[in-house]
Amino acid sequence: MSENRKAVIRRKTSETNIKISINLDGSGKCSIDTGVAFFDHMLDQLARHGSFDLSILADGDLEIDAHHMVEDTGIALGQAFADALADKKGISRFSSVLVPLDESLVRTTVDISGRSFLYTDLSFSREMVGDFPSELVVEFLRAFSYNAGITVHVELMHGENCHHQIEAVFKSLARALKMAVKIESDQIPSTKGVL
């Protein structure tokens, strides 16, 4: 296994200032502070269940709302994933998982193809979880998948509790990514010879 699947990304705009470091071959250690508590909790799920070492330190215009922070974190995290994967040599590439959280069930399927695409079927039961707008989950997923060059399909199969629904999304994404980045050969997993 490569010991170099790490990346550090800094993203600074007039709206946010974000530093992310990731190790795809970590153990799930994380330190996350975006100023959006529920989002931090979800990113913690991503790190721990994906076994990625992840550090995110961010500040921004939260006095407006959480939109810029969530979207820009997704952009920077996607860029960090792409950098850490480098030429993607030896990765499994594809994965599909079902993850339950009590009454909620989410299916996530990924293809680390170099082609960015997002499909979601997420009918959350509430517009807000605390002070976190549920619609920002899709904003994060879109920003992440498009900047990582990953095809991602996420479907909420069923559920009632919105916290559980969103947490199952992040846990299932984590498990799908963990499986897809796993090294299983010394070849590029594409008939094209490049991803």
- Please check the confidence at residue 1 and state whether its pLDDT lies above 80: no
Return the CATH number of 6-180, one of 3.30.230.40, 3.40.50.10420, 3.40.1390.30, 3.40.50.300.
Answer: 3.30.230.40
Residue whose tokens read 């969530």? 70
Q: pTM of the predicted model, to two decimals? A: 0.97
Q: How far is the CA of 53 from the CAs of 22, 107, 155, 188, 190, in angstroms?
A: 6, 24, 26, 24, 27
Mean pLDDT for 73-98 is 97
Give the whole-angstrom CA distance, residue 151 versus residue 176.
11
Mean pLDDT for 2-29 is 94
Give the whole-angstrom CA distance, residue 193 versus residue 145.
22
Taking phi first (over 0 means left), then psi (-120 to 50 degrees means alpha), and beta for anything else, what does residue 39 get?
alpha
> Where are the domains positioned within the chain?
6-180
